[in-house]
Amino acid sequence: MKNRDRKRKLRRRAETIGVLPGSLVADPSAHVPVVRVMAYGPEALLEKRIEHLDQILEWRGKYPVLWVHVDGLGDVTTIGKLGEIFNLHRLALEDVVNVHQRAKLEQYPDYLFFEAQVYHCRPAVETEQFSMFIGKDFVLTFLERPGDFLEPVRERIRHSRGKLRVCSADYLSYSLIDLIMDNYFPVLETFGEALDAIENAIIKRPHELAMEDILAVKHQFLMLRRALWPVRDAINSLYREPSMIISEGTRVYLRDCYDHVIQLIDLLETYREITADLMDMYHSSLSNRMNETMQVLTVISTIFIPLTFISSIYGMNFNTETSPWNMPELNWKYGYPAVMGLMFVIAIAMLMVFRKRGWLSRKALRRIGLTERPPDEHRNGPPGGNDQERPSS
């Protein structure tokens, strides 16, 4: 999935090389746009999916707030027509079509342009670009694919919950941005649970698959960091810089939204540190496991040193008829059982000494399979990765 997205991004960049500034080039794999309109005020509400964009001109001005939402970026004609209706700059529309943009806020004389990356858990972690134009009486939003996450805001408008129905378009834009930030929290919680599972797997038995999971989560954190830090700057500009679009009452709510971004960044940095600690733990666990294995092998080698010495002596087979000093045990009736018994006693005695000194633990024996290993629990892979059960080592 990651390789496919990376190849698509590179192909999109190659297709836009040399085109005129402000040119709208749609991705052939993008979804066909679906346009929905919500026009509302304290006493009235209009919600409709439209096919002819000229209807927007009829409703604009009749309602205090006009919210036009577009799911899908596959038709540049539709996007260009919306730009003409709301008098939008072509460079801003070009950023809407060219996804994977850095989060930002741009000010124009009659509107603001906000752009950010949105993360979802569906149940795997997915991301898409969210673009929004904020005017005095309208909000125009774009998402890459259908099945958008904005339904909670629509429900609040339908049932007159909160201040949406009595506030202007800037408060609607705040509500949408706040919803984007709220979607980051469950994503980070999912990655936090993945880190706990990886830590448990490393403690029980380190395996190379655990390192693959750590690297996958680390990559996701890098992508989240690239998404969140620009959002912080964009929201900071939105509530600090003077603008005729954003009222003073809405700036207070945007400041709270900025606090949420700071919390997300702090949580993300904490998880990044935990990921680095897990990598150190993995290498330490591998080192400890190797030390335990070498300890067992050293003990076994040490036990066989005197046994090898005894067997090598009696393997020389000097002729006892030539001299009485040439291994008289060779002609003794119980010579072989006596030597084997001596070797067995020496081995048992050495094992007891090693065990008493703590040089040979049950855990070390279990590491190399000399004792029964407790059953392992299956673990799941990182979010957005392969969730199938993986074989144990």
Strands 45-50 vs 34-40: parallel, antiparallel or unpaired: antiparallel
Q: Spell out the domains of the chain, with CATH numbers in brackets.
A: 19-164 (3.30.460.20), 292-367 (no CATH)
- Only one residue has tokens 């939204």, namely 257
CA-nearest of 287, 278, 280, 302 to 367 is: 287
Question: Using H for helix, E for strand and C for coil, what is the string for 60-79?
Answer: ECCECEEEEEEECCCCHHHH
Higher pLDDT pick, 126 / 233: 233
pTM listed for this prediction: 0.73
Higher pLDDT pick, 89 / 359: 89
Cα torsion 305, 306, 309, 311: sign? negative
Chain CA centroid to CA 185, Å = 12
What pLDDT, on a 0 to 100 scale, did the predictor assign at position 162?
86
What separation, in Å, do the N-terminal and C-terminal C-alpha atoms of the chain show? 26
Rounded average pLDDT over 309-333: 74
Question: Using H for helix, E for strand and C for coil, what is the string for 5-74?
Answer: HHHHHHHHHHHCCCCCCCCCCCCCCCCCCEEEEEEECCCCEEEEEECCCCHHHHHECCECEEEEEEECCC
Give the pLDDT confidence of 175-186 residue by residue, as tens digits.
Answer: 999 999 999 998
Q: Residue 342: phi, psi to the nearest 5?
A: -65, -45
What pLDDT, on a 0 to 100 scale, did the predictor assign at position 230?
92
What pLDDT, on a 0 to 100 scale, did the predictor assign at position 130?
93
Q: Is the pLDDT of residue 365 over 50?
A: yes
Confidence of residue 391 (pLDDT cuts 50, 70, 90): very low
What lies within 8 Å, CB to CB, of 393 at 6+ separation is 205, 207, 208
Q: Residue 129: phi, psi to the nearest 5?
A: -90, 135
What pLDDT, on a 0 to 100 scale, did the predictor assign at position 316?
73
Confidence of residue 305 (pLDDT cuts 50, 70, 90): confident
Higher pLDDT pick, 268 / 313: 268
Higher pLDDT pick, 63 / 30: 63
Range among 16-30, 112-126, 197-211 with highest mean pLDDT value:
112-126
Q: Is the pLDDT of residue 123 over 80?
A: no
CA-nearest of 384, 382, 389, 5 to 212 is: 382
Q: Torsion angle, CA of 215/230/9/150, rounded to 10 degrees? A: 100
